[in-house]
């Protein structure tokens, strides 16, 4: 091995913006293109809004305005405004901000003085404006570099802060803000801050009942076993009910207004407190899994100087509430024990419904006990011998914590497609699960079928979701099938499986459809991959005269070398989303039930519309 020189010339000191741009994942998690709710462009938006929320919490400003047009974002609050002499510093000097002074910001969301600096460094254009005491100050940046530092001027505008930014397309490739994800984020903010109004592109969001409104937005009333239990304390709020149709647990947890999507100490304590309270109330040592089966709940707590496991604040690591308060675990246990127990005593009909649900869960668990053991043994044996799952390396060592948000499982059909993806994937973060033939239509079937059907049993084992969504091994689950009739059918059957048994995967934004190119248009100098007829026509015009055109009939026809274009930085994903206007039960009944004439009419009508929109091929 040749000697590698190591001298003073190898030592570099990066300034704040260089470090953020070189290691953006440390500050905003994964990058992405906006197809996932935890993609970086939404973290940028969240970091800006968090500061507005802190103003509201401190009693300054009841309205936040958010405007997103194409790739430009504008956020305006009516809080106290950044002190004018520090406007440039708070958006361009690391570890600078008011959140270190608990006299000015108590139980704040933004704590590390990093958020807006990351937004600034990762934006092609960034502008900050502050109005206070009848004066105005603004500054403009590009990629973190100060471009314009305006003087302080007199102003008649309302006090507050305005941030405008455009994410850098060199980092966020082909990105697009999806209104569904933005609206979900904004709704969470208003659920956690009654009295706050957020105006998003002219539509106003407001909540009167906090977490109760959140659960009502997530579920249909027909699916609720009993009315939502809503309990509030000084620094804690919880809401819960049981689903009639859902199998597993579902939690929405928050700390100081931050959606902790990966849970943490508070969520673990909440799960434990529910079981303990229920056992004590009924005087029976029920299995914890039976108590929590089908529960849909939310918890929000406020703590002093919380410790999160990363800058994106998706998991709470704190064990203390702050000050002279007890630990997070003790505080939540004491609250749930007192208030949930009181509620159950005052509402015997709810208590009876919960007990019936527990007894039903207990009976189903015992019925499945034998088959679950056989299924687990079969899954272990199958995974050793038939190579259905090609796992990724993230689950090894320290990499798990750092890159968990990047983990992806591709569910493929056939050996050729899975072979191409396996050879071209990123082995650190991307895994492949290969289906054998078409999955079973699981509509209206019991959980027993998940264990009896080999494909479903192995898929459940690969995802590690038998007992809890908290154990989910892959953040992104991508259905990768051919864009033909058979491929579409397999997609539908897989979506049915997830809706029937694990709807939280879809509700929480984990399920996607992989877009793969229909055409390759190329000449000697350039190759363009096209995902639609429109893109094909555009590529043909660009590569005149007479470029070579290839029509891909299936994923197996795409070579591993080419596949790298489609599952790497340029990956295109369509998120699978639920429309609250139709319940899951109604959705499955219409698309997968026995109403063949209605469904046939729906397909014909929609096919007509689609054909009318397609121009004749050139």
Report which DSSP code applies to 537.
H
Please report the pLDDT score of residue 164 as a whole number.
97
Instruction: Decide the pairing of beta strands 408-413 and 476-480.
Output: parallel
Nearest alpha carbon to residue 39 among 168, 169, 165, 175 = 175
Q: What per-residue confidence (pLDDT) applies to 610?
A: 47
Phi, psi of 130 (to 5 degrees): -135, 135
If DSSP codes are grouped into helix, strand and coil, which group holds residue 416? helix
pLDDT digits (tens, 9 = 90+) for 37-88: 889 999 999 999 999 998 998 888 899 999 999 899 999 999 999 999 999 9
CA angle, 428 as apex, 426 and 432 as ends, to 5°? 65
Q: What is the DSSP letter of 160?
A: E
Tokens 């399920």 locate to 511
Question: Where on the phi/psi map is residue 451: left (φ > 0), alpha (ψ -120 to 50), or beta?
Answer: alpha
pLDDT for 606? 65
| Distance from C-alpha of 578 to C-alpha of 506, rounded to nearest angstrom | 7
Model pLDDT, residue 596: 65
Q: Which of 147, 257, 279 is nearest to 196 (CA)?
A: 257
The predicted pLDDT at position 290 comes to: 93
d(CA 543, CA 524): 10
pLDDT given for residue 421 in this prediction: 87
Could you give the dihedral angle defined by the CA atoms of residues 164, 169, 172 and 175, in that order, rounded to the nearest 10 degrees? 80
H/E stretch holding 124: strand 123-132
* DSSP, residue by residue, 336-395: HHHHHHHHHHH-HHHHHHHHHHHHHHHHHHHHHHHHHHHHHHHHHHHHHHS--EE--GGG
Q: Are 533 and 397 in contact (CB under 8 A)?
A: no
pLDDT of residue 346: 96
Give the per-residue pLDDT at 581.
Answer: 58
Strands 72-77 and 63-69: what pairing?
A: antiparallel
8 A C-beta contact, residue 595 and residue 456: no
Is 526 exposed, middle or buried (CB count within 10 Å of its CB: 0-12, 13-18, 19+)? exposed
Q: How far apart are CA 361 and CA 531, in angstroms?
A: 46
User: What DSSP element (H or E) covers 527?
Assistant: strand 527-530
Q: How far apart are the first and last CA of the chain?
A: 58
Q: What is the pLDDT of residue 615?
A: 46
Residue ranges, the chain, pLDDT below 70: 1-14, 95-114, 310-313, 318, 320-325, 379-387, 396-402, 580-583, 590, 595-596, 599, 606-618
| 8 Å CB contact between 260 and 270 | no
Give one word for 323, left, alpha or beta, with left for phi > 0 and alpha for psi -120 to 50.
left
CA–CA dist 403, 26 (Å, integer): 10
Q: What values do phi and psi take at 348, rounded to 5?
A: -60, -30
Instruction: Report how far residue 47's alpha carbon sits from residue 163's, in angstroms, rounded to the nearest whole number.
Output: 11
Which uninterrupted H or E stretch holds 415? Answer: helix 415-424
Q: Rounded distance, CA 480 to CA 478, Å?
A: 6
418-452 pLDDT, tens digit per residue, is 888 888 888 999 999 988 888 888 888 888 888 88
């Amino acid at each position: 091995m040749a000697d590698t020189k190591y001298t003073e010339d190898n030592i570099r000191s990066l300034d704040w913006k260089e470090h953020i741009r070189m290691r953006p994942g440390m500050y905003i998690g994964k990058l992405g293109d906006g197809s996932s709710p935890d993609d970086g462009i939404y973290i940028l938006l969240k970091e800006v809004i968090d500061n507005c929320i802190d103003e509201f919490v401190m009693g300054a400003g009841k309205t936040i305005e958010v405007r997103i047009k194409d790739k430009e974002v504008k956020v305006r609050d009516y809080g106290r405004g950044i002190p004018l002499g520090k406007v440039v510093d708070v958006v361009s000097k690391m570890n600078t901000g008011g959140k270190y002074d608990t006299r000015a910001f108590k139980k704040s969301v933004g704590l590390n003085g990093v958020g807006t600096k990351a937004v600034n460094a990762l934006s092609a254009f960034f502008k900050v404006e502050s109005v206070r005491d009848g004066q105005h100050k603004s500054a403009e940046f590009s990629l973190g570099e100060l471009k314009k530092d305006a003087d302080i001027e007199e102003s008649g505008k309302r006090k507050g802060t305005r941030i405008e930014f455009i994410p850098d397309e060199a980092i966020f490739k082909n990105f697009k803000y999806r209104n569904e994800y933005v609206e979900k984020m904004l709704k969470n903010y208003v659920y956690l801050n009654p009295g706050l109004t957020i105006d998003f592109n002219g539509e106003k969001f407001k909540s009167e009942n906090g977490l109760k409104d959140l659960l009502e937005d997530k579920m249909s009333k027909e699916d609720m076993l009993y009315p939502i239990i809503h309990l509030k304390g000084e620094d804690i709020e919880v809401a819960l009910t049981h689903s009639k149709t859902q199998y597993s647990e579902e939690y929405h947890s928050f700390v100081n207004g931050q959606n902790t999507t990966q849970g943490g100490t508070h969520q673990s304590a909440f799960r434990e407190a529910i079981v303990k309270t229920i056992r004590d109330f009924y005087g029976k040592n029920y299995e914890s899994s039976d108590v929590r089966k089908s529960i849909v709940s939310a918890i929000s707590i406020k703590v002093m100087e919380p410790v999160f496991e990363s800058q994106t604040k998706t998991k709470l690591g704190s064990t203390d509430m702050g000050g002279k308060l007890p630990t997070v675990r003790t505080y939540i246990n004491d609250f749930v024990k007192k208030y949930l127990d009181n509620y159950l005593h005052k509402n015997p009909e709810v208590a009876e419904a919960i007990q019936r649900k527990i007894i039903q869960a207990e009976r189903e668990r015992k019925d499945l006990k034998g088959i679950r053991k056989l299924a687990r043994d079969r899954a272990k044996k199958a995974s050793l011998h038939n190579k259905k799952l090609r796992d990724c390396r993230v689950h090894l060592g320290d990499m798990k914590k750092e890159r968990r948000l990047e983990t992806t499982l591709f569910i493929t059909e056939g050996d050729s497609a899975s072979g191409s993806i396996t050879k071209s994937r990123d082995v650190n973060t991307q895994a492949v699960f290969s289906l054998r033939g078409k999955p079973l239509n699981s509509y209206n079937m019991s959980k027993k079928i998940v264990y009896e059907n080999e494909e479903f049993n192995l898929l459940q084992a690969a995802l590690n979701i038998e007992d809890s969504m908290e154990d989910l091994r892959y953040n992104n689950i991508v259905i990768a099938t051919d864009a033909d009739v058979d491929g579409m059918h397999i997609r539908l059957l897989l979506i049915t499986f997830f809706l029937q048994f694990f709807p939280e995967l879809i509700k929480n934004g984990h399920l996607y459809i992989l877009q793969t190119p229909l055409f390759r248009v190329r000449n000697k100098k350039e190759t363009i991959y096209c995902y639609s007829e429109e893109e094909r026509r555009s590529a043909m015009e660009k590569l005149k005269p007479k470029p070579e055109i290839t029509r891909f009939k299936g994923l197996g026809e795409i070579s591993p070398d080419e596949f790298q274009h489609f599952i790497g930085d340029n990956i295109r994903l369509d998120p699978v989303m639920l429309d609250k206007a139709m319940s899951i039960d109604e959705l499955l009944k219409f698309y997968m039930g026995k109403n063949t004439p209605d469904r046939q009419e729906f397909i014909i009508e929609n096919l007509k519309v689609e054909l009318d929109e397609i121009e004749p091929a050139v």
